[in-house]
Amino acid sequence: MSAPYLEREEEHQLALRWRDERDEKALSKLTAAHMRLVISIAARFRHFGLPMGDMIQEGHVGLLEAAARFEPERQVRFSTYATWWIRASIQDYILRNWSIVRGGTSSTQKALFFNLRRLRAKMSRNNSSGTLDATMYEEIAKAVGVSRADVELMNARLSAPDSSLNAPVVESDSSAADRQDFIPCTQPLQDQTVSETIDTARRSLWLQEALHELNERELRIVRERRLSEEGATLESLGEKLGISKERVRQIENRALQKLRSALLRDHDQAIFVL
């Protein structure tokens, strides 16, 4: 904080020496004179509860990045340019460390994270309950450019600390069930899994039997177009078979019709989407 302020011309010369000559002393003097700017910006984010020293260090990283990218010939004061890099570096640090769950991954989500408290306080001044209602959610969503659901989710995250899924439901009873025990399972039931496995094997056998109805060219087209992970194009198959892609399409349609007829003839319950 005791570093002297730089005049415009001195600042310009230091920036030139660092950019053109990679003069470490010039860089040190330039950044030392702007550390008070780093401290000032870091102080604006102290309400997020992260160590002030860490935020200052992250801001210094942004200051060094600004020095590496600064173009003195544009006649812009270094502090004006560096402010954006310092703020971005501090905000990125906050997003990485404020919660175990990463948030603010997009630009709009980032703007919502850092502006929600201010907007919430502004809109709650005339609300005696001090809570957000549906109208306020809509106004905030419109102001930031996100959905109402995003505002509600972010408000819930900012209003309460993270909770461990391994924590007991009853805090005073360590033998109580964990929170994760009440998370609904989205996996299918065992009987559904077994049924699907059996049905898949049965349908695969039916399909293999129906393929015997096709001639050699039809079988090749169906295998390469429908039964391979990367389906061949009509054009590539036409080149291999020496026919036009339209002719390939016609043969494919005829082959699929043969398969459907064979499957429905031999297995009334067969359901295939070919």
Which residue in the block uniquely carries the two structure tokens 């429908």? 226
Question: What's the CA gap between 30 and 11, in Å, rounded?
Answer: 7
Considering only CA atoms, which of 106, 80, 93, 103 is closest in space to residue 46? 93
- DSSP letter for 33, please: T
> Tell me, what CATH number does 71's domain have?
1.20.120.1810
Q: What domain range is 228 assigned to?
A: 190-266
> Does 218 lie in the same domain as 248?
yes
20 & 77 share domain = yes
pLDDT tens sequence for the chain (274 residues): 677 889 999 999 999 999 999 999 999 999 999 999 999 999 999 988 899 999 999 999 999 999 999 999 998 999 999 999 999 999 999 988 887 766 656 777 777 888 787 787 777 666 655 566 777 778 888 888 888 888 877 877 777 666 777 778 777 676 778 878 888 888 888 888 888 888 888 888 888 888 888 999 999 999 888 888 888 899 998 998 899 999 999 999 999 999 888 888 877 655 554 4
- The answer to whether residue 165 sits within a structural domain is no
Q: Which of 72, 97, 122 is the last residue of a domain?
A: 97
Please tell me the predicted confidence (pLDDT) of residue 192: 83
Instruction: Let me know whether 90 and 114 are in one domain.
Output: no
Structure confidence at residue 23 (pLDDT):
93
177 belongs to a structural domain? no
Based on the domain organization, do 55 and 116 belong to the same domain?
no
Question: Residue 221's Cα: distance from chain center in Å?
Answer: 40
Residue 234 belongs to a domain? yes
92 and 63 both lie in a single domain: yes
Q: What is the pLDDT of residue 142?
A: 83
Is 26 a domain residue? Answer: yes
Tokens of 137: 């959610």
Burial of 263 (0-12, 13-18, 19+ CB in 10 A): buried
How far is Cα 38 from Cα 82, in angstroms, rounded to an integer?
9
In a domain, 216, yes or no: yes
Q: Is residue 55 part of a domain?
A: yes
User: Number of structural domains, the chain?
Assistant: 3
What sections of 22-51 are H helices per DSSP?
A: 24-32, 35-43
The CATH number of residue 198's host domain is: 1.10.10.10
Domain membership of residue 172 (yes or no) is no
Q: What burial class does residue 14 get, using C-beta atoms within 10 Å of its C-beta: 0-12 exposed, 13-18 middle, 19+ buried?
A: buried
- Asked whether residue 111 falls in the same domain as residue 93, the answer is no
Asked whether residue 179 is domain-assigned, the answer is: no
pTM (two decimals) = 0.55
Pair (93, 140) in one structural domain: no
